[in-house]
């Protein structure tokens, strides 16, 4: 076998190995990201009154579904309602019931 043949075999083998490793890493990263997105949102019924997730003063990461029937929450949040006993405290999306609750405008 000539040196040129050996070099070509090593180059092709190295290229295949690199492609395989990168493909495996990329697919695992995508699967991990998908799994993370599925696990991180907590669904709350948008019609539920008196809970933080549906209150205009709650400062957590959330989004309303397109049909406005569900609120997807992704974190704890701050209560920004000066009338609430939880004012400037961290609360969960389902903390409640609150008498000082006000409906979130996005709903």
Tell me the pLDDT tens digit for each residue of 35-85.
444 557 889 999 999 999 999 999 999 999 999 999 999 999 999 999 999
Largest CA distance in the chain: 85
Map residue 8 onto helix, strand or coil.
helix
Phi then psi dihedrals of residue 28, to 5 deg: -70, -40
Distance of CA 107 to the CA centre of its chain: 20
pTM above 0.85, yes or no: no
Residue ranges per structural domain of the chain: 1-40, 42-91
Distance of CA 43 to the CA centre of its chain: 12
Report the distance separating Cα 17 and Cα 15, nearest Å: 5
């Amino acid at each position: 076998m000539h040196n040129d043949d050996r070099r070509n075999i090593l180059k092709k083998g190295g290229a295949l190995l690199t492609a395989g490793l990168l493909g495996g890493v990329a697919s695992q990263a995508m699967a991990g990201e998908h799994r993370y997105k599925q696990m991180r949102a907590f669904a709350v019924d948008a019609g539920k009154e008196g809970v933080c997730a549906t209150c205009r003063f709650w400062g957590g990461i959330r989004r309303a579904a397109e049909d406005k029937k569900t609120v997807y929450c992704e974190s704890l949040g701050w209560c920004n309602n000066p009338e609430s006993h939880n004012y400037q405290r961290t609360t969960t999306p389902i903390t409640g019931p609150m008498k000082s609750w006000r409906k979130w405008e996005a709903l």
